[in-house]
Homo-oligomer: A and B are copies of this chain.
Amino acid sequence: MKATHILETVLYCEDLAAAKYFYANLLGLELFRETEHYLGFRLPRSLLLIFNPQVSRRKDLPRPPHGTESNTHIAFSATQKEIQQWRAHLKGHNIRIEESREGTSLYVRDPAGNLVEFNQPTDWGIEWNSTEERFE
């Protein structure tokens, strides 16, 4: 058997209001679900879920417990031109650029300290054609 698609990518942040500002307002993701336990963002082909780990770790909930401290990692696709735009955009909102490797990738931290990267799929040897249809 073969798993075919990642449906849910998950990060953890105790301060969901701060996470909402970062991912919805600064990164422009579409928030489609918001509870006191988690935020759900919908991307074209997958979901980003951000849980409050103090809740998701509890063992008295219907779903199995999960959740960890901060400092996990995620990367979003971006072209080299978009990486420059992200750099200016995020700096303009007082987000510290942790590292920018000559324009080919960009690293910042979300409010929980998770490492958020913008990177070109071509750096992984992956070809893609347009903003809308990467990985086609």
> Which A residues fall within an 8 A CB radius of B?
1-10, 12, 27-29, 40, 42-49, 51, 56-57, 63-78, 82, 85-86, 89, 98-99, 107, 114-115, 117-119, 121, 124, 126, 131-132, 134-135
> What's the Cα separation between A67 and B115 when bound, in Å?
9
Contact B8 A119, beta carbon cutoff 8 Å = yes
> What's the Cα separation between A6 and B121 when bound, in Å?
10
Contact A119 B5, beta carbon cutoff 8 Å = no
Given contact pairs A5-B46, A64-B99, a sample of 17 additional A-B residue pairs in the complex whose CB atoms are under 8 Å apart:
A1-B27, A2-B27, A2-B28, A3-B27, A3-B28, A4-B76, A4-B132, A6-B6, A6-B76, A7-B76, A7-B121, A7-B124, A46-B135, A49-B73, A63-B99, A64-B115, A65-B115
Copies of this chain assembled into the complex: 2
Contact B73 A5, beta carbon cutoff 8 Å = no
Q: A10-B74, A68-B68, A86-B1 are in contact. Are A45 and B134 (CB under 8 A)?
A: yes
- Which of A51, A73, A121 has its CB near the most chain B CB atoms (within 10 A)? A73
